Amino acid sequence: MELTPVRWGIIGAGDIAERVMAPAMRAAPQSELVAVTRRDRAAAEAFAARHGARRAYDNIEALLRDPDVDAVYIATPVVRHCPDTLAAAAHGKHILCEKPLALTVAEGEQMRAACAAAGVQFMTCFYQRFNARHRQIRALLAARAIGQVTAARWNFSGRSADRPGAWRQDPAEAGGGCYMDNASHCVDLLRFLLGEIVAVSAFVDTLAACYAVEDTATSILQLASGAHAVITSYWSTGDPADERNSRLEIFGTEGAIISTPLHDKFSRGQLTVATSAGEQHFTYEASTHVALLAEFAAALAEQRPPAITVDDGLAALRTVQAVYESARTGATVRVGQAGSEAGRA
């Protein structure tokens, strides 16, 4: 089926939109970049010129009133995800929102209600579900290539030194640090590959920085299947090697699956399946974001929810919230039974 291209507006034409999403919109046949907005009008116009957008705005309301915009990609700081989503829904625009979904589960639920009331689709931008390596892993697990899965380890780390004014290092704007930001990808990918998370125990600290969010987080998670998992996310480590600091490992009764780097936006890297029969190696190259945009366009054309819904964003946020509560209290926390605030105290 040939799809009519989705006409996009970008709210928050910053770094991630510059490097990844705007180029993907140009590359995806189902997408057309129509308009962008930044508070700095000159910067918005320069962005639009670089990426072929028709119009640039310096305020969100002007972009949302644009009749040529069908959907918006929200890439503002986390504190803006809820109000920007509510505004977009009120104008009848479909929404692709960056992760993490919101500062709190309560905000996320407000976003879900607003989109349902307005009849617009909402997709959470957990792009690593569209990594070709991760799709292959899902197929391998369905085929029981390594038997019964009993354990998993995810690491998504690097060095994030103090940067005065950086919104990701401000709890009021980001809601948390390395776990809220990087590990939320790991949480969603764990759910995508291995099923629901039911309980967590965690340590969360700031060890190498002076900012007010965590730079070192370690969590142990229990899955509904009974399997155990460990997710680590550090902004306090300087190891530059992706094969160590961006790594996914799944262990089963008959072997193991290892994939690295976890974070690559073009599916590049190495996937290894190790069993008693030997090792298999897989490599790929495909844009995660082009595939994500294709799914969004197909969902709109078929009038169905997209593959990653607001509920997926909420599920990840509930796990992050449980991690922070476990770190605060020293207790194992059942996911969904933590307090109302996702951010670290």
pLDDT in tens, 322-338: 999 999 999 999 997 65
Pairing of strands 197-205, 333-334: antiparallel
Question: Residue 336: its pLDDT value, please?
Answer: 79
pLDDT digits (tens, 9 = 90+) for 290-317: 999 999 999 999 999 999 999 999 999 9
Q: Would you say residue 341 has pLDDT above 90?
A: no
- What values do phi and psi take at 298, rounded to 5? -65, -40
| pLDDT value for 324 | 98
Q: Are 6 and 293 a contacting pair, CB within 8 Å?
A: yes
Among candidates 60, 55, 68, 48, which has minimal Cα distance to 90?
A: 60
**What percent of the chain clears pLDDT 90, i.e. is strictly above it?**
95
Tens digits of residue pLDDT in 121-140: 999 999 999 999 999 999 99
Average pLDDT for the chain: 95
In whole angstroms, give the CA distance from residue 21 to residue 31.
11
Catalytic-role residue among 80, 93, 94, 99: 99
Cβ 37 vs Cβ 60: under 8 Å: yes
Q: Give the closest residue to 342 by CA, choosing from 137, 183, 139, 164.
A: 183
Domains by residue range for the chain, with CATH: 6-127+289-305 (3.40.50.720), 130-286+318-334 (3.30.360.10)
In contact, 188 and 312? CB cutoff 8 Å: yes
Asked about 265 being catalytic, the answer comes back as no
> Which pTM was predicted?
0.95
pLDDT digits (tens, 9 = 90+) for 142-192: 999 999 999 999 999 999 999 999 999 999 999 999 999 999 999 999 999
Q: Which residue type occupies 299?
A: A
pLDDT at 276: 97
